[in-house]
Amino acid sequence: MKKYTGFEAIERLKTNVIDDGKSLYRYNKELNLIEFSMKAPKLPWQHVIIDISFFFSKEFVDYVDPLKVGDWVVAFKMTKVCQVTELNYQGSKKFIMTDYAVDDCYQAADVNGCRKATLEEIAQEKRRRVFEKVGRTIDEFKEGDVVTPLDNDKDLLLVEHYSDQKNAVRIGGTYYNASDVNPAYFAESKVC
């Protein structure tokens, strides 16, 4: 995690909440003031007058909201995107239970060994899980699947052919990149 001191810390206040380990600091644009809040005990934000030398005498990092149940994280040596299902704080050891399973056993991860997932990582993982539920790899379609374009989830289109070499689906005689359509119904789930 990048550390900020001096003018760099002051610049960072313009866009981020910064953390010195004990307190949080932010810039209130409307009042043109710096505000602070203590982390423990949790105090409401208060206006404070700070001498500029204060920012040169300490190191700051960007504040990251603590994890909570339902958050998406990247864990397990930063290789798996999973959802937090439970928080376990046992003394100084902090673990999270996740929805990632190996051999039907849900896995716990060290809080310090994970980070919050980006919106793109979350979307990719949700897409992967949709395909995994029907026993397919991500973006693997079959003839008879019903899909929607990414930009219009109201149009239902029938997949005529899937080319795994091109990773493309043929719809209405035209090929589209498989990642440009979302599955609506898989051929296996249709009732005849």
The predicted pLDDT at position 81 comes to 92
Residue 95: its pLDDT value, please? 81
Tell me: the pLDDT tens digits for 52-105? 899 999 999 988 888 889 999 998 888 889 999 988 877 667 888 888 878 778
Nearest CA among 130, 142, 190 for reference residue 170: 142
138-182 residue pLDDT tens = 999 999 999 999 888 888 999 999 998 899 999 998 999 999 999
Distance CA 18, CA 15 (A): 9
Helix (H, G, I), strand (E, B) or coil at 78: coil
Task: Check residue 191 and give its pLDDT.
Answer: 67
Residue 113 pLDDT: 83
Judged against a pLDDT cut of 70, whether residue 30 lies above it is answered with: yes
CA atoms of 145 and 143, how far apart (whole Å): 6
Residue 188 near residue 140 (C-beta atoms within 8 A): no
pLDDT digits (tens, 9 = 90+) for 118-141: 999 999 999 999 999 999 999 999
Q: How far apart are CA 40 and CA 23, in angstroms?
A: 8
Residue 156, both tokens: 């239902």
Specify the pLDDT at position 175: 92
The pLDDT score that the predictor gives to residue 169 is: 94
Tokens read off for 171: 């719809």
**pLDDT above 90: residue 8:** yes
Ordered strands of the 61-62 beta sheet: 46-48, 33-38, 23-28, 18-19, 61-62
Per residue in 72-84, pLDDT tens?
999 888 888 999 9
Q: What 8-state DSSP symbol labels residue 16?
A: S
The answer to whether 74 and 80 are in contact (CB under 8 A) is yes
Could you tell me the pTM of the whole model? Answer: 0.70
